Amino acid sequence: MSKNQGINLDFTLIMIVLGLACVSFFALYTITPSLPSKYDGSNFLEKQIFWYGLGSFVIAMVMLIDYDRLRQFAWFIYGIGVLLLLMLELNIPATFVHGNNGAVSWFKFPGIGTVQPGEFMKVFLVIIQSHIIVRHNEKRPVYRGVKDDLWLLAKIIGVALPPMALIAKQPDLGTFLVLAAITGALILVSGIRWRILLTITGAISIVASVIVFMFILFPNETEQILVESNFGHVTERFYGWLQPEEYKDYGYQLIRAMMAIGSGQLLGKGLMGMQVYIPERHTDMIFTAIAEQFGFIGASLVLTLFFLLIYRIIHTALESNDPFGSYLCVGMIGMFTYQIFQNIGMSIKLLPITGLPLPFLSYGGSSTLTYLLAIGIILNVRSRTKSFMFD
Cα torsion angle, 95, 170, 188, 348, sign: negative
User: Strand order of the sheet with strand 97-100?
Assistant: 97-100, 103-109, 113-115
pLDDT score for 1: 40
Q: Examine residue 93 and say whether the peptide bond preceding it is cis (omega within 30 degrees of 0).
A: yes
* Helical pair 286-319 and 365-383, crossing angle rounded to 10 deg: 20
Ramachandran assignment for 6, one of left (phi > 0), alpha (psi -120 to 50 degrees), beta (any other): left
Query: How many secondary structure helices (H) and strands (E) does the chain include?
Result: 13, 3
pLDDT score for 309: 97
Identify which of 319, 321, 333, 324 has the alpha carbon closest to the alpha carbon of residue 134. Answer: 324
Q: Is 329 exposed, middle or buried (0-12, 13-18, 19+ CB in 10 A)?
A: buried
pLDDT score for 314: 96
What are the C-alpha distances in Å from 284 to residues 35, 66, 103, 193, 362? Answer: 13, 34, 16, 38, 6
Roughly how many angstroms between the first and final C-alpha of the chain, as a whole number? Answer: 9
pLDDT score for 369: 96
- Average pLDDT along the chain, 391 residues, taken 10 residues at a time: 59 96 93 78 87 95 92 95 93 83 82 87 97 92 82 95 93 91 94 90 88 75 67 68 73 86 88 82 90 93 97 94 95 96 91 88 93 96 76 55
pLDDT score for 17: 97
The CA distance from 25 to 192, in Å, is 43
Q: Is 385 exposed, middle or buried (0-12, 13-18, 19+ CB in 10 A)?
A: middle
Are 155 and 129 a contacting pair, CB within 8 Å? no
The CA distance from 30 to 8, in Å, is 37
What pTM, to 2 d.p., does this model score? 0.91
Task: Give, for 16, the enclosing helix (H) or strand (E).
Answer: helix 11-31
pLDDT score for 111: 75
How many C-beta atoms lie closer than 10 Å to residue 77's C-beta? 18
Are 331 and 130 a contacting pair, CB within 8 Å? yes
